[in-house]
């Protein structure tokens, strides 16, 4: 991210706001594995590439990966975006359905609602009584789960890791102080959980409202709709979502937008 910003002649302040932490208790993953092997799961939805890899790491403590991949071949495989697609391609596992950009739960739901093909029930596209296992990516997608249940599906969440604050929070604390002091022109966020963690630290510093007020005077760039929803819920205005939900597009288009705003003000 720093390199992308500096290539566009920006001055980057990088403040890590989250880290992925593997769940110590992997009962959910092992339950998923056993039900998958018993052919009780008709579809598997992979939300993230890193989550898919973490799931495999857990499963391989009890099962050979070839047996896991074969069990996946008997299911309808759905992915949220390019990163889990790349992981499954490495595994040699077929991908049946992929959500289009911006890869939110709404696009996933549209893909699923349009009809799935189940390898062990070729003539069935009805979701009723079909079990869909969903590899979670830090936080559950309650809206997606409820929508799938309304379509008659059985939803099996499979949490693999969670988001926590970084071990060292001083860079984030310094960035919050700098924001309040008016030292930034542009604020970029790439996940919904980032703003939640930022506000948790701002609360600890007694600067939540000051931070929100200062941030709303900046140009705010969000990687995509899910992140934007979290920003608006927190009380922040979103000025820009990139044409594609990738960091390169976010940096380039946000900096261009910010430069235009400076020109207008001048």
pLDDT digits (tens, 9 = 90+) for 222-257: 999 889 999 999 999 999 999 998 999 999 999 999
Under a CB-based contact definition with an 8 Å cutoff, are residues 112 and 79 in contact?
Answer: no
In the structure encoding, which two tokens stand for residue 228, read together?
A: 């934007």
% of residues, the chain, pLDDT over 70: 96
Q: What's the pLDDT score for residue 123?
A: 60
pLDDT digits (tens, 9 = 90+) for 21-68: 887 778 999 999 999 999 999 999 999 998 999 999 999 999 999 999
- Domains within the chain, CATH numbers bracketed: 2-17+165-265 (3.40.50.10090), 24-163 (3.40.50.10090)
DSSP alpha helix (H) spans, the chain: 2-7, 27-37, 49-59, 65-73, 82-91, 105-113, 142-150, 170-180, 192-205, 208-215, 225-234, 247-265
Beta strands 97-98 and 131-135: pairing type? unpaired
Under a CB-based contact definition with an 8 Å cutoff, are residues 83 and 246 in contact?
Answer: no
């Amino acid at each position: 991210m720093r390199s992308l910003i500096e290539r566009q002649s920006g001055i980057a302040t990088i403040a890590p706001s989250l880290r992925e932490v593997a769940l110590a208790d992997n009962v959910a993953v092992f339950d998923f594995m056993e039900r998958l092997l018993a052919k009780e799961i008709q579809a598997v939805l992979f939300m993230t590439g890193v989550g898919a890899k973490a799931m495999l790491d857990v499963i391989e403590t009890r099962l050979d990966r070839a047996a896991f991949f074969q069990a996946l071949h008997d299911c309808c495989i759905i992915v949220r975006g390019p990163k889990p697609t790349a992981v499954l391609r490495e595994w040699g596992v077929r991908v049946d359905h992929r959500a289009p950009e911006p890869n939110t739960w709404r696009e996933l739901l549209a893909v699923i609602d349009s009809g799935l093909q189940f390898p062990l029930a070729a003539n069935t596209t009805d979701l009723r009584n079909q079990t869909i296992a969903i590899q979670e990516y830090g936080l559950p997608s309650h809206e997606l789960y409820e929508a799938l249940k309304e379509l008659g599906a059985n939803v099996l969440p499979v949490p693999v890791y969670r988001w926590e604050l970084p071990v060292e929070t001083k860079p984030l604390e310094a960035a919050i102080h700098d924001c309040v002091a008016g030292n930034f022109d542009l604020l970029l966020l790439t996940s919904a959980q980032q703003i939640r963690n930022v506000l948790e630290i701002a609360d600890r510093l007694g600067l939540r409202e000051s931070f929100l007020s200062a941030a709303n005077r900046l140009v705010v760039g969000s990687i995509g709709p899910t992140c934007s929803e979290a920003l608006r819920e927190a009380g922040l205005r979103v000025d820009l979502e990139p044409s594609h939900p990738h960091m390169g597009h976010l940096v380039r288009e946000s900096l261009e937008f910010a430069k235009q705003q400076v020109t207008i003000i001048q």
